[in-house]
Amino acid sequence: MTEHATPSARARALVRGAYDLHVHVAPDVMTRRISDLDLAVRFRDLGLAGFVIKSHYVPTAERAEHVRAVVPEVQTLGAITLNASVGGMNPVAVEIAGRGGAKVVWFPTVDSDNQRSCLAEEPEGATPPMWARLQQDLEDAGMKAEAVRVLEDDGTPTRQTAQVLQVMAKHSMVLATGHLHTDESSALVPAARAAGVERIIVTHPEFTSQRMGLDSQRALAEQGVFLERCLTTPLTGKVSWETWHANIRGAGVEHSVISTDLGQPFNPPVEDGLAIVADLMLSAGYPESEIRLMTVHNSRHLAGADPLPDAPAHLR
């Protein structure tokens, strides 16, 4: 297995109390580096507060509940992603997930129109996402689903999207924008706010199929959303570290939340991810307070956890 950087003790301490809001763990339809139960044990031993189980294909709330029962010291949280395997923009699926305790609703990822129609090439040497092979297998087998429609042609939410937003607001669920195009995210955010959705994350805006410009990131940040800075996006070569850091600083650290998107067998251990980012940010000149804001305080706010004593006033 590939050797990866070992986080420093300083970095480990900086991220204590954090949630990783985006991890891919077993059991899953794809091979993963670690199981949800084993990850919870490692998070507990390292002083990390919790994580959200992300699957592109299946809801994870019931799994998360089981993990919490076995490892109650760690808040393992469930989610649902609105791809074809759950019926796409399906308010019934979101309602059931919400009743089951799911915390996050990812809008379409692999089945978004933006991802399907993306012509952007991965930078030379970038590692392709694991789900690309599965998507191709489905297409080869004649099971390619229609892209999930989020907005009408005039930019307003479809009837199903409007229902989904209402359900999310009722259950206090977090909206993550998935692999939507910048224009879709820009239209979705105010609609979600109007429906009563309080916590919104723009999913890895630097990802290949998104490549959201800094001006758009700033405009969304002004609406109170958080921009998710995933470790794997620059780690696997999909964006340069320079651009990643420039976007964080340009949109404001107070509007950024660090997650890892880890779990792939070839990437670092999931439990090391946040501390790896902390070390990278220390090397890049971020003060400890900013690193802790992005990794710990903002993630806890989005997870609905109680603020820690050192949290800034606006998050208390």
Q: Which of 92, 33, 93 is nearest to 57 (CA)?
A: 93
pLDDT of 119 reads 66
pLDDT of 159 reads 98
Strand partners, 174: 104
pLDDT of 110 reads 96
Residues with Cβ < 8 Å from 289, sequence gap 6 or more?
A: none
pLDDT of 121 reads 75
pLDDT of 3 reads 78
Alpha helices, DSSP H only, in the chain? 9-14, 36-46, 61-70, 91-99, 113-117, 131-140, 159-170, 182-195, 214-221, 232-235, 241-251, 273-283, 288-292, 298-303
pLDDT of 69 reads 98
pLDDT of 124 reads 77
Measure the CA–CA gap between 247 and 66, rounded to whole angstroms.
37
Could you tell me the sign of the dihedral formed by the alpha carbons of 66, 11, 303, 4, in that order?
negative
Read off the DSSP letter of residue 207. Answer: S
Q: Which of 313, 312, 225, 299 is nearest to 77 (CA)?
A: 299
User: CA dist 235 to 5, 13, 130, 177, 267, Å?
Assistant: 12, 22, 15, 21, 9
pLDDT of 120 reads 73
Q: pLDDT tens string for the chain (316 positions)?
A: 467 889 999 999 999 999 999 999 999 999 999 999 999 999 999 999 999 999 999 999 999 999 999 999 999 999 999 999 999 999 999 999 999 999 999 999 999 999 988 867 778 788 888 898 999 999 999 999 999 999 999 999 999 999 999 999 999 999 999 999 999 999 999 999 999 999 999 999 999 999 999 999 999 999 999 999 999 999 999 999 999 999 999 999 999 999 999 999 999 999 999 999 999 999 999 999 999 999 999 999 999 999 999 999 999 8
Measure the CA–CA gap between 121 and 127, rounded to whole angstroms.
12
pLDDT of 312 reads 95
